[in-house]
Amino acid sequence: MRQSPRSPKMSAAWLSVLTALCLAILKLFTGLFTGSLAVLTSAIDSLLDILMSGINLIAIGHAEQPADEQHPYGHGKFETLATLFQSVVIALSGGWIIYEAIQRMIVASPIKQTGVGIVVMSISTAVSYLISRHLRKVAKATDSSALEADSLHFSMDVYTNLALLAGLILITWFNLLWLDPVMSILVACYILFEALRLMRHGLRDILDEQLPETVRKEIEELIEDHKFDLFGYHNLRTRRAGSQKLIDFHLTVCKHLSVEEAHDITDYIEKKIGEHIIGTDVTIHVEPCRRHDCPGRDVCPTQKVRHAENQHEKWWQQDNESTESQPQ
């Protein structure tokens, strides 16, 4: 039986797991060999990357499952739950690193073979930079919050590795043993800051916060492109479920339109929003105009509804037919 190819998100998640595993093993052995807490700290961070990337892999696998009877809005929030879990684990690791660094400052330990540590941290920095760029690219293309968090982990590794690399070089040149735990504390503070940022991002999705103002503005512009065919819209609501954007609003149309005509208009607008904003699920509630002194569809001064008698085809019919006529 032929297997279907993996999605870009799943392929990126697998690559993230394998990369984190290789880096963690390399840095763990280097940290134990050199006795550097800073390198061990980076190794622990990479071990957490394995855990986080594995969680992302599972979450993305569930999130990509289609909607079912028990989950009519899909499974997108698996990605959000993964993001929240990652933020908690990262925060705990940051606290542990600070505790160990303080202990190392109280009882200093010698560092040996710093040259090996410098080479390993240089390799780790380069690999982390490349995988971070790839994950960010896939996250942007698929609008995946889980992959965005994974990309952030590796971006953090780039900056922390550079800081630790600088610390190892200074220790080698000037024998500043106190610099090792100090650099570890600085790295841990940065990790805690990013953990709080991730947690805030996940909580926004869990609590159904509105989409960013820029996205809402784009939705409004797409609706208003057809203002001459509609009375207006209201009650625009948006929220996220992982990489899926859920949008619903009320659309007011001429009460003399047939059900089929009103459906064609809403269907056209839904398609336009889906073409411009990836990962959308749009629901439009149609309402008739309630103007009591309605002069009729032919002479309405505000509606400006186009008549089938005065044009060969309606604008939405033209668009649908042109789409259907394109070669498959």
Contact 8, 138 (CB under 8 A): yes
Contact 27, 116 (CB under 8 A): no
Task: Find the helix or strand (DSSP H, E) in which 236 lies.
Answer: strand 232-241
Q: What's the CATH number for 8-206?
A: 1.20.1510.10
User: What are the pLDDT digits (tens) for 62-90?
Assistant: 777 777 777 777 777 787 788 788 788 77
- pLDDT of amino acid 227: 61
Q: What percent of the chain has pLDDT over 90?
A: 2
CATH class of 213-325: alpha beta
Contact 84, 202 (CB under 8 A): yes
Comparing 301 with 23, the larger pLDDT belongs to: 23
CA angle at residue 18 from 16 to 20, to 5 degrees?
65
User: What are the pLDDT digits (tens) for 156-207?
Assistant: 778 777 777 777 777 777 766 677 677 778 877 887 887 888 788 788 888 8
Query: Which residue is it, tokens 């032919």?
Result: 298
Q: pTM of the entire structure? A: 0.59
Q: List, by residue range, all CATH 1.20.1510.10 domains of the chain.
A: 8-206
Q: List, by residue range, all CATH 3.30.70.1350 domains of the chain.
A: 213-325
Q: Quote the mean pLDDT of the chain.
A: 75
Nearest Cα residue to 282 out of 246, 253, 316, 252: 246
- pLDDT of amino acid 320: 46
Is the per-residue pLDDT at 1 higher than 80?
A: no
Longest dimension (CA), the chain: 90
